[in-house]
Amino acid sequence: MEQGKIYITKQRLSEIEEEVRKLKVYGRRDVASRIAEARAQGDLSENAEYDAAREEQGLLELRIRKLAEVLARSTIIDETNISTDKVGIMSHVTVMNEKTGKKSDYQVVSQEEADFDSGRISMSSPIGKALMGKKIGEGIQVKVPAGVLSLKVVSIGR
């Protein structure tokens, strides 16, 4: 995982903290229970249930470590301080495809909060990178798998 700050909202920080808490309390308990049940079946060398439970335990601990690292590197963004002069992290941006005239709304977020289906694009994605620092009326060219998009910034908000 890359080093550096991760910019997230207070809401997302709370969601991650809650997920870590649940994984530590309930996830660990459930996996430990499955390991104990599998051990009770006898010979561990040929026990697929035991192997599966141990693998699940490893994945659970990896997820907990990853989320803990995100929490340690997180900086909360105060959405009331977001500039509407130019595109930045947490900006709500409306862009127009200059070829089709179709408008799209995005919120530029950190990689950890990105969800394209919800209109939340990562600032490190091709469109997100191209939008960063742009002002209303400025155009961008973005190379995407389907070709090159020509977009124009129509509005910037919080």
Stretch(es) of the chain classified as CATH 3.10.50.30: 81-157
Q: Does domain 6-76 have CATH number 1.10.287.180?
A: yes
More confident residue, 22 or 6: 22
Q: What is the pLDDT of residue 3?
A: 59
Strands 147-157 and 139-144 turn out to be antiparallel
More confident residue, 81 or 108: 108
Distance CA 74, CA 35 (A): 34
Statement: the pTM of the whole predicted model exceeds 0.75: no
Confidence label for 113 from pLDDT (cuts 50, 70 and 90): confident
CATH entry, 81-157, from 3.10.50.30, 3.40.50.10490, 3.40.50.720, 3.40.50.970: 3.10.50.30
Proportion of the chain above pLDDT 70, given as a percent = 94
Distance CA 26, CA 14 (A): 18
